[in-house]
Each structure stands twice: as C-alpha cells, then as structure tokens.
Amino acid sequence: MDRKFLDRVTEIIDKERVFTDEPMSRHTTFRIGGPADCFVCPETVDEVQKVVRLCNEMDMPFYLLGNGSNLLVGDKGFRGVIVRLYKQMDKIEVSGTKIRAQAGALLVKVASEACRNGLTGLEFAGGIPGTLGGAVVMNAGAYGGEMKNVLEEVTVLTREGELLTLSKEELELGYRTSIVGRRGYIALEAVLQLEKKDAKEIREYMNELREKRTTKQPLEYASAGSTFKRPEGHFAGQLIEQAGLRGFRVGDAQVSEKHCGFLINRGNATAEDVVELMREVTVKVEEKFGVTLEPEVKKLGEF
C-alpha cells in the first residue's frame, strides 16, 4: 500500500482503526476473500467524508463494506481501501413511531429495538445478518416485507463527498436494488417510519420467522444467504433442486442440501470454488429450464 496514502489516512483515522493487508475472509459471512490493501473503520460522518475526499484526491479505489453478508471477495483480495461501516456508526434512536439509525447498525438490532418499543413493520428483518446501510443498498427483504415499506429517507454521501438526503421516492427501491447501490453512494443514516402495535405480538411473530429460518436455512455453514436473485415467476432454490443439483460440490463450495438457493462454504472453499459452482449451477439451470439465474451476491476484488 502506498506509504503516502497511509500517512495521510492515519491523520484522519486513528491508526488503531487502519489496517493493511487485512484478510477479507474475516469480514465476510462466506469466510472467503484475500487481503485488502487498506481497511479503515471510520467512527464519524466527518471521517467518512475526509477518507472519501482523500481517496478521490489520490486516485485510490475504495469500497463500502457493511457486515459482508452479501459479498464474495476474490482470493487475491482487493487493491484499494475498504471503508467499513459496521460496529462503529451504529447509533439507533427511537422517537414516536420513527427510528433514526446510522448505517453501521445491525439490522437485527434495529428490528429488536423496534419490537421493544412496540413498533411494527420491521419484523421481516429480524434474521437478516446485514447492516442497515447494506439493507438500504440491497432493499433487503424477506417473508413479504422489504426495506421499501419502512424507509422514509436516507442520508448519503456521494462519491464526490457531497451530503444528500434522499426521500423514499428518490431512493428508487426495487427488487434487491436502490439508487444508493446504482450510483455508488455511501449510506450514512436512515429514518424508518413504523406503526404502533403490541410488543408481545411483534415478538411472537419475530420468533416464528426466526424458527422458519433456522429450520429451512443452512445457518450452521458460512454463506452469503441466497446466492441468486429470484427469477421472475420462479424460485432459484427450486430450479436448482429440480436441475438435480442438491448437494452438488466444487471443492469445499456446495449447493446446500438443506436449501438449494444457498451456496455454502463447508470450511475451506475458495472464491474460485464458489465462482465455478455458480457458473455450473447457472449453466445447468439454463439448459434444463431456459431460465438465466442472476447473482444476488456482489463480487469484489481480484479472483
């Protein structure tokens, strides 16, 4: 990593929160990924803004990371700076039926805070292991709910370092997409609009959904959740299963036997294994059903 860049970045961010050659396998739920040249953990909006400006000034590629739960990082890692918004910048404030939370807050924490305050609308998010920032970018959803239904506004930083507040309409939320992801904005904070309901009823429903996840999903293995998007009129997992691929393996990457929509890491899978498995699954499903599977998981870095 460029020495000049490191000197400058440690003037912005305390050196205890700046890492070099940081293995990305430590920061993705797939437990896969080579080293990032530089990995920084800002604690304030001001720090994020300054790091982004520095990267622009020094022509340094940068990438925003939440909890890495929808990410496949290449075995050779990432040449540039990972800016991680998770564990820091995780404040959650409840006021009436609104929740204002920072992008680094875990979605499950926001959902449980909503429940504690008798606020309904976020029960679906109880088992999604990402940050609020990642959930905005992906318009995360489950069990008939999605971020689109609860988001009121999101404050972002543009790639050029300008702060903007986007309304629900301006966010252009669609199936696993938003303008935040398309434009490469950095989500900093979101306001959610929820409704009052009995906390006990909310808790019961959340427990029911958690139970469903535990019985249906291979949570005992590292993965990035559903690897493919739901193709129009189908379920990816069902197509993969009907193509005879349950348990199909490349190295230590495998189509889960429990839920074929999940590709899992059985322990020592490489990004190359996962990419090859994704390719084989896509080809076989296309041959059998004429349906093209599109990855939901984002790829990053050198493979």
Helix (H) or strand (E) holding 54: helix 45-57
Smallest CA-to-CA distance from 199 within 122, 101, 91 is with: 122
Is 15 or 182 the residue whose CB approaches ligand FAD more closely? 182
Q: How far is the CB of 41 from ligand FAD (least distance, A)?
A: 13
107-116 and 199-216 helices cross at what angle (nearest 10)?
A: 150
Contact code string over 265-294 relative to ligand FAD, x by CB under 6 A: ------------------------------
Of the candidate residues 186, 190, 206, 236, the single one contacting ligand FAD (CB under 6 A): 186
Contact between 173 and ligand FAD by CB under 6 A: the answer reads: no
Q: Output the CA angle 171-180-60, nearest 5 degrees.
A: 160
Q: Determine the length of the chain.
A: 303
Contact between 197 and ligand FAD by CB under 6 A: the answer reads: no
| C-alpha span between 16 and 75 (Å, rounded) | 25
Of the candidate residues 79, 197, 203, 298, the single one contacting ligand FAD (CB under 6 A): 298
| C-alpha span between 15 and 5 (Å, rounded) | 13
Contact between 135 and ligand FAD by CB under 6 A: the answer reads: yes
Contact code string over 228-267 relative to ligand FAD, x by CB under 6 A: ----------------------------------------
Is 138 or 275 the residue whose CB approaches ligand FAD more closely? 138
Q: How far is the CB of 72 from ligand FAD (least distance, A)?
A: 9
| C-alpha span between 155 and 157 (Å, rounded) | 7
Q: How far is the CB of 108 from ligand FAD (least distance, A)?
A: 10
Is 77 or 133 the residue whose CB approaches ligand FAD more closely? 133
Contact between 134 and ligand FAD by CB under 6 A: the answer reads: yes
| C-alpha span between 173 and 176 (Å, rounded) | 8
Q: How far is the CB of 136 from ligand FAD (least distance, A)?
A: 7
Contact between 41 and ligand FAD by CB under 6 A: the answer reads: no
Q: What are phi and psi of 8, to 5 degrees?
A: -70, -40
Contact between 108 and ligand FAD by CB under 6 A: the answer reads: no
Looking only at the bridges linking them, the beta strands covering 222-226 and 262-265 are antiparallel
Contact between 187 and ligand FAD by CB under 6 A: the answer reads: yes
- Other beta carbons within 10 angstroms of residue 44's beta carbon come to 13
Contact between 131 and ligand FAD by CB under 6 A: the answer reads: yes
DSSP, res 148:
G
Residues annotated as catalytic are 176, 226, 296
Looking only at the bridges linking them, the beta strands covering 35-40 and 78-84 are parallel
| C-alpha span between 38 and 163 (Å, rounded) | 24
Q: Which two tokens stand for residue 135?
A: 């959930």
Which parts of this chain interact with ligand FAD (CB under 6 A)? 29, 63-71, 85, 103, 128-131, 133-135, 137-138, 140-142, 180-181, 186-187, 217, 219, 223-225, 298
